[in-house]
Chains A and B, each alone.
Chain A
């Protein structure tokens, strides 16, 4: 292979190194024993992992992030899946409009959206930051729920639902007994994408957090502005492990291609 296409092989190798290098640096720095961010690390230890796991701003914000991601995902799916289903099956003409409306959060810059919600929820309505974060993230995640569900529905044979009706199933039984199981892989994909998107979000979270309620990325951002210890690398490494874990679970559940590739089931 290398002998036959040397240029292509070299480019591929360069791309792989380019992609992996920052990860290697982060993991390396995290394993450092010293007090400052240096690469290569000065001595090896797990010291900073221990520090990160007991540093309260991080542990608190981790809980906040998990709560926000889970709640926002549930809301986005609970709104997005039935709405997409209704529009796809009942009125093909409404499909375009729904797509546009529900996908608009992808187009509007998140900072703009975040600022609008900040004005509305925190300033005007006086919501607490956690509620504002959950609602804001739900809006952000809706496009994923709509797009992935829509793609699954489009690929599902419409005759399946007709077959169920013909065999005696009413609309509700048809939805829960046939449609939902058939698009389930798509919904699992949407769930995982939503959880990751919410968990990694910075711009919107930045505007909707308060002193006491912060998501993990915001807490990390704040930390690096004042400190320069390898603890931040340790947190990053832990997040990396979490993401790899999610990816592995996803692979076991529905297959990686289905979630991150364009082809829904």
Chain B
């Protein structure tokens, strides 16, 4: 078996309902897995279970094929980058990076060499003697990464590593994180609530909801073919509706066209008539929300208003969905439409 980490039926609760519920998860060697989800979905808890900081109430944790459920963190070979970085404030950058090697009784010569290499890897060779307090947020983040990587862990765990940085630095460090993972060939698990981060970094992503995996697959698969309402809405498919005969489908607002009711209609496209609720100016474009009476009840759909001058709240409009943008939500139960007359 080639799974570096495997969780089998892991369940846990902190008193108020389950945080993890019968969670199965496997990470392959050299893979970059992203756990994505809103806060409280159990993604950080999953990471803590893998690291050994939390012993799950139910289920098994396997590392390298061996049962590690009861192994304390100091005897697992795992490198973790914390959201707060957790650098030791009383030690220099080099001593921080050397900490794990000291615990592993690596000799002084090799230690110095490996610390040097790790700091070069993250581009901080010249700051080895500084204390963490003298570094910027981005530099601290790199030290934390070097400290986790230098011990050559079985798996590198990243707990929202970029969330404390400003937008520009986040993108810069994101590509650096990708490079470090590629160059070291380490298996990595990233926890994030930022879909862009997951899409940019991961080979595979798992969207979590209420301590279970709602969907997993390659970023492209998950992003372009969400299978249920939760994943679709989390990934920005704002329009979820039940189409007669097709069940629940999801459409991104950028793939929906809102036009005046009297504009020439394209007979091949799926379209609905409705009433405009509001128009919102977005700079590059204007979006419109239109309430459409569907057999299953009225639904508010959002899309791009192509000629906003012809639309106004309260006026009739046509909502046009281009066929390739309609994503069927395969996991949602297909509710039969009871009404006779199709829209």
Contact = CB atoms under 8 A, between A and B. Distances in A.
Nearest to B91: A181
Contacts of B42: none
Contacts of A182: 88-90
Contact of A159 (B72, B74, B82): B82
Interface in A153-188: 157, 159-160, 162-170, 173, 178, 181-182, 184
Contacts of B51: 162, 166
Chain B interface main SS type: loop
Tell me which of A163, A165, A166, A170 has the highest count of chain B C-beta atoms within 10 A of its own C-beta. Answer: A166
Interface stretch (B97-105, B219-227, B239-247): B97-105
Given A162-B73, A163-B82, A168 B104 contact: yes
B88 A168 contact: no
Q: Is the contact region of chain A dominated by helix, strand, or loop, or is it mixed?
A: helix
Contact of B103 (A162, A168, A181, A184): A168
Contact of B82 (A162, A181, A184): A162
A162 B51 CA distance: 10
B99 A157 contact: no
B86 A165 contact: no
Interface in A134-165: 157, 159-160, 162-165
B106 to A, nearest CB: 11
B63 interface: no
Interface in B102-119: 103-104
Given A173-B103, A182-B90, A166 B80 contact: yes
Interface residues of B, number: 25
Nearest to B105: A168
B86 A157 contact: yes
Nearest to A162: B53
Nearest to B76: A166
A184 B80 CA distance: 26
Contact of A181 (B52, B86, B90): B90
A165 B73 contact: yes
A167 B103 contact: yes
B100 A168 contact: yes
Contacts of A167: 74, 79, 99-100, 103, 147, 151
Given A181-B90, A182-B89, A165 B82 contact: no
A166 B84 contact: no
Contact of A168 (B53, B74, B86, B89): B74
A173 B73 CA distance: 14
A168 B52 CA distance: 12
A166 B88 contact: no
B102 to A, nearest CB: 8
Interface of A: 157, 159-160, 162-170, 173, 178, 181-182, 184
11 contacts: A159-B83, A162-B82, A166-B51, A166-B73, A166-B80, A167-B74, A167-B147, A168-B75, A168-B104, A182-B89, A184-B90
